[in-house]
Amino acid sequence: MTLPQAFTPFADEIFASMRPSVRLMLSTDPATPFDSKVGGTPYLPKDHSYPTGTDGKPMAFLAQINFEQMPALPHFPRTGILQFFIKNDDDCYGINFDDFTDHTGYKLIYHNHVDKDTPQGDYDVQVGEYTLPFPADHSYRIGFDDATPQAVTAFDFKFDETVPNLAQFLNEKADQDNYDWELHSEYDTWTQAESHRVGGYPFFTQDDVRGWEHDEPLSEYVLLFQLVSEDGDNDESVDVMWGDCGVGNFFIHPDDLANLRFERAFFTMDCY
């Protein structure tokens, strides 16, 4: 996408901020247990136990990414399936907002080898009404856009230090009387911030929690997977809703990503 003219004086710092990312699209097309998808039946060979929480209850399947189907991204695997499970029947989606390093309310499972000839388990998991951000009996196949660099979003807590001149320009505009926030919206649209994606920069409706004070610093964590609310923008049958039009984000430390330690990623969600 061409950089809007209003931001061309800041082109150097904007383009220097770019990170590889893949934007995702959801559809109601049928999906097998081996496909990338949100909801539905996960890939789980018969000899694998279904993930459970600390309470012993089966967790709810949120999504999975089959990296063989996704355009290649630096530092991400080229093969295998990464799965996201969250605590069942929990209106906070398993998140401990007092300690984001508490992973007991969700699990990330990485299958580095996918065997399509292995029989799949038959698991009947009853999901609580408020567990998932979409109807429990719905499933959405994930399609992938091309791998495209994404500039830092205005929602990232390092925005001001990453693109200081652009940030100052936007802040000065925001201080003006009767400012309609059109420039901010134009930048957000250009960065495609509010999109399902792997890699790149996040979208938030509130604050970037990586900038908060934590016992274990989270400032170096990068976006792993983002699932935004969607109410029929691309497909009228797609219905994903985090609270009041919110977003769910998984972040991971670059060292953990490089070493495929996905279980150390942390999960957060916010909404309006």
What digits encode the pLDDT tens for the residues 39-64? 999 999 888 899 999 989 999 999 99
**Cβ pair 270, 207 in contact under 8 A:** yes
Burial of 64 (0-12, 13-18, 19+ CB in 10 A): buried
Token pair in block for residue 9 = 């004086």
| 214 pLDDT tier (thresholds 50, 70, 90) | confident
Selection from 65-79, 82-96, 128-142, 209-223 with the highest mean pLDDT: 65-79
Q: Is 102 a residue whose pLDDT tops 70?
A: yes
Res 179: pLDDT: 84
Res 220: pLDDT: 96
CA 267 to chain centre: 9
Helix (H) / strand (E) element for 160: namely helix 159-162
Neighbours of 133 (CB within 10 A): 24
Res 235: pLDDT: 55
Cα distance from N-terminal residue to C-terminal residue, the chain: 28
Q: 5-270 has which CATH code?
A: 2.30.320.10
pTM above 0.85, yes or no: yes
